[in-house]
Amino acid sequence: MVFSVKDLLVNSGIDFGNTTGDCTPKYFEDFDINQYTLEISRNVDQAVFIKLDSGSAGYDYVVGTDGLPVGYVAYTFRYVTEDGDRSSLSPSTPLIPIVSKYSKNCTNFPGLMTISKDPDVSVPTVYGAHIRFRVNNDLNFDFIEVVRHSFVSGDGIGGPAVSEIVTKIDIANDEISLL
């Protein structure tokens, strides 16, 4: 909260010799925190992971179709204006395991066999992550930034992610949709 101590004292009825004032509501009843907020207040839905996929047919957007390195990734997104104002990032998807190979013909556990290897960012897999999220542009932002948080260096648990903006998606004013 932002206060001017002198103004508070003057407007609370304290006499400074040349000024007396009645108690003012401007610091209490009339105070609007939104006038002093730096971050745009916006509730953002969480993106969900649908599946690993090696193609992009039938989807509006698939991120990482050139292949992701073996490891784990998570996605968040935020709304952005042309002036650069940004909402906070959405809650993150759970960590998505990126494997080197996925077999649909496993005899013991059909559809569950995965084969992986040590992380190597120079050798991507054939898989991209199909994610989906709700767009609710009632505040008329101009586009959405999708951010990928990658854990692909082989560091132990708790190591830092490599975060990067992987795509920008134009959205219309008042758009409500599912991407």
115 pLDDT above the threshold of 70: no
Mean pLDDT of 133-137: 89
The enclosing H or E element of 165 equals strand 162-170
Residue 166: how many other CB atoms lie within 10 Å? 16
Between 30 and 176, the higher pLDDT residue: 176
Measured between alpha carbons, how far is 100 from 10 in angstroms, rounded to an integer? 70
Provide the Cα torsion 129, 130, 136, 137; round to 10°. 70
Per residue in 79-113, pLDDT (tens digit) is: 999 988 888 899 999 988 888 776 666 555 555 55
